[in-house]
């Protein structure tokens, strides 16, 4: 029974950290006056790395439903940040990519997000940062090794 309590504590702490992280990232979006939410930023970040993706691939990568990602893409497309292109081979397939107009702005955004994370982490000592890294690495390993 003790393990269950520890598991609940870890889950709650992780949820709290994720909320704080999302809030911190949202501040950067507000400062840059992009009118972009944190989930939209996650989509833009993923698309910037992957160049072009189908919505199903993007959904899988972000662990969000297709309908959620599709709604995010709709809003980003209206803002001119992404574009949809139909596949030449199969017209049913739609690929999403960052619009050419947004690429330069995104590089600046990415730099600001990295600076924001750096500023937060610079508050910790090297020992604290090692502990955080080790803990997150262990959590990643445990989550990756779970049996479905």
Residue 83 is part of a domain; what is its CATH number? 1.10.10.10
- At 74, the pLDDT band (50, 70, 90 cuts) reads very high
Domain that holds residue 77: 2-144
Element (H, E) at 54: strand 52-54
Q: Please check whether residue 75 is in contact with residue 41, taking contact to mean a CB–CB distance below 8 angstroms.
A: no
For 34, other C-beta atoms within 10 Å of its C-beta total 18
Element (H, E) at 107: helix 100-121
- Three-state SS for 96? strand
- At 1, the pLDDT band (50, 70, 90 cuts) reads very low
Total number of domains in the chain: 1
Q: Please check whether residue 113 is in contact with residue 48, taking contact to mean a CB–CB distance below 8 angstroms.
A: no
Q: Please check whether residue 69 is in contact with residue 58, taking contact to mean a CB–CB distance below 8 angstroms.
A: yes
Per-residue pLDDT tens over the stretch 78-117: 888 889 888 888 888 889 998 887 777 767 777 777 888 8
């Amino acid at each position: 029974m003790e393990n269950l309590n520890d598991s609940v504590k870890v889950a709650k702490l992780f949820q709290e950290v994720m909320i704080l992280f999302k809030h911190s990232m949202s501040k950067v979006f507000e400062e840059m006056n992009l009118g972009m939410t944190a989930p939209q930023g996650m989509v833009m970040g993923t698309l910037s790395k992957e160049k072009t993706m189908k919505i199903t691939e993007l959904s899988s990568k972000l662990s969000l439903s297709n309908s959620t990602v599709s709604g995010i893409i709709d809003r980003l497309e209206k803002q001119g940040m992404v574009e949809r292109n139909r596949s030449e081979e199969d017209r049913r397939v739609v690929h999403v990519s960052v619009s050419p107009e947004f690429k330069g702005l995104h590089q600046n955004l990415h730099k600001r997000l990295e600076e924001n994370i750096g500023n937060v982490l610079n508050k910790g000592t090297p020992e604290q940062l090692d502990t955080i890294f080790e803990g997150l690495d262990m959590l990643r390993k445990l989550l990756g090794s779970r049996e479905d």
